[in-house]
Amino acid sequence: MAEGARLESVYAATYRGFESLSHRHRKDYYDQLERQQRSEPDITGWIQWFLGCLGRSISNAEETLQSVLFKAKLWEKINHQPVNERQRLIINRMLEDDFQGHMNTSKYAKLAKYSSDTALRDI
């Protein structure tokens, strides 16, 4: 197999693994690939790029793990008291990253799709 065809095959196979990379990191990847096709292989560049990706992955995994552990501990405490399905729904919504502000009865009623009276009792 010709070197260009082999690199193109490697590119096609690895692209799927890098679809989740940010635009900037994808650009870095493609820049490295282009350098490989134009010149002698630069192993140092590939190692630096790979280690950068690995470091970001580990950081993201640590952040995700901290979030999961926080939620697990919170639910462990919450489950000592009776909690209905509406309350579970709202608590889970409040734990999402994009939740903003504080909870009040009108916000609760809107999110749970129940009346303000029911929201007040639940809160």
pLDDT digits (tens, 9 = 90+) for 33-56: 787 777 766 778 778 888 988 999
Per the confidence metrics, is the pTM higher than 0.85? no
pLDDT digits (tens, 9 = 90+) for 58-90: 989 998 899 899 999 998 988 888 888 888 888
| CA–CA distance, 36 with 39 (Å, rounded to integer) | 6
Handedness of CA 30, 36, 38, 39 (dihedral sign): positive
- The Cα-based distances of 6 to 34, 36, 119 in angstroms read 13, 12, 62
| CA–CA distance, 21 with 44 (Å, rounded to integer) | 21
